[in-house]
Amino acid sequence: MRTPPRRLARRLYQDRWAYLFLLPSLAFFSVFFLVPVAWGAVLSQLDYRAFGSRWVGLDNYRGVLSDWLFWRSLANNLYYAAGVVPLWLGKALFVAAVIFPFRKLFQNLYKTAFYLPHVTSAVIISLIWLWIYNPPFGLLNYILKTPGFAWLGNTLTAMPALIAMQVIMGGGSTIVLISAAMGSIPGDYYEAAQIDGATKVQQFVRITLPLLKPTLLYLLVMGTISSFQVFTNVYLMTRGGPQFSTITIGYLIYETAFTYYEFGAASAMAMVLFAIVFAVAVVQFRWLSSDVEY
């Protein structure tokens, strides 16, 4: 049923303060997200030059999709996401489940400890892990008694080393979100389950996990998007090597744009990455989304 114009205008006037307060956020979102995305879409169809850009249509996309290095970087991205997202989410879920029964004081203490890496610069974390993986002087080789082994210089271990770093250092904000979601589950369900003789594991599997589904879906989608955007670790620790074994699309876009100054091709890669991440998010939502009512 269509809303009459006069009624719509009256409703907009009644909600004018809400729209007024939302305006700054909308302005920032438009300037720093929508405009760059729109400009990137235009740029992806240009042979961009500082003087005299030329319209080439879909040629940049054809070039990108026929480039073996793009497909290699996409495969590396999938490898990275498949390694990081399940382990990072599983770790956060495990830690949240372990600390949740503690008293509030100890819960906050553990949450703070796990959250600290989240507020630390990715550059600092990468430099620390460069030392940990250092072949002659690194902590990891000292512990494993494997002096001289180059974890980041071997095609078989470079990507797992990056994944391990991300899983160990990440998850702080995820633990906080999962703990908050656990706290919102009514205690009546657990009391009823205890009366029926359910064990702690059965309560977790049958009650906690299903009711955490919306939160886990959100974290899964955001974690996947974040994994496809990985750049800082690769740039600082491996530069995509050895032998392109850790090159990701984010790093390839950077290298194409700012090393070879092919902004059109780099923008086409960014648009393809946007489409891939969007498709993955849609699939995840359709697979896991369902309404949960407490």
- Rounded Cα distance between 243 and 267, Å, is 24
- Rounded Cα distance between 43 and 36, Å, is 10
Q: What are phi and psi of 199, to 5 degrees?
A: -80, 170
pLDDT at 294: 46
**Residue 52 pLDDT grade (very low, low, confident, very high; cuts 50, 70, 90):** confident
Mean pLDDT of 46-73: 87
Indicate whether 231 pLDDT > 60: yes
pLDDT at 107: 82
pLDDT in tens, 116-132: 877 888 889 999 999 99
Indicate whether 191 pLDDT > 80: yes
**Residue 3 pLDDT grade (very low, low, confident, very high; cuts 50, 70, 90):** low
Burial class (CB in 10 A: 0-12, 13-18, 19+), 240: buried
pLDDT in tens, 9-40: 888 888 888 889 999 999 999 999 899 989 98
pLDDT at 200: 86
Between 80-89, 150-159, 171-180, the lowest mean confidence (pLDDT) is in 171-180
Between 27-41, 107-121, 193-207, 210-224, the lowest mean confidence (pLDDT) is in 107-121
**Residue 61 pLDDT grade (very low, low, confident, very high; cuts 50, 70, 90):** very high
**Residue 290 pLDDT grade (very low, low, confident, very high; cuts 50, 70, 90):** low
Q: What percent of the chain is modeled with pLDDT above 70?
A: 96
**Residue 198 pLDDT grade (very low, low, confident, very high; cuts 50, 70, 90):** confident
3-class SS of residue 54: strand
Given a contact cutoff of 8 angstroms between Cβ atoms, the answer to whether 57 and 45 are in contact is yes
pLDDT in tens, 149-171: 999 998 999 999 999 999 988 77
- Rounded Cα distance between 198 and 189, Å, is 11
User: What average pLDDT is seen over the chain?
Assistant: 87
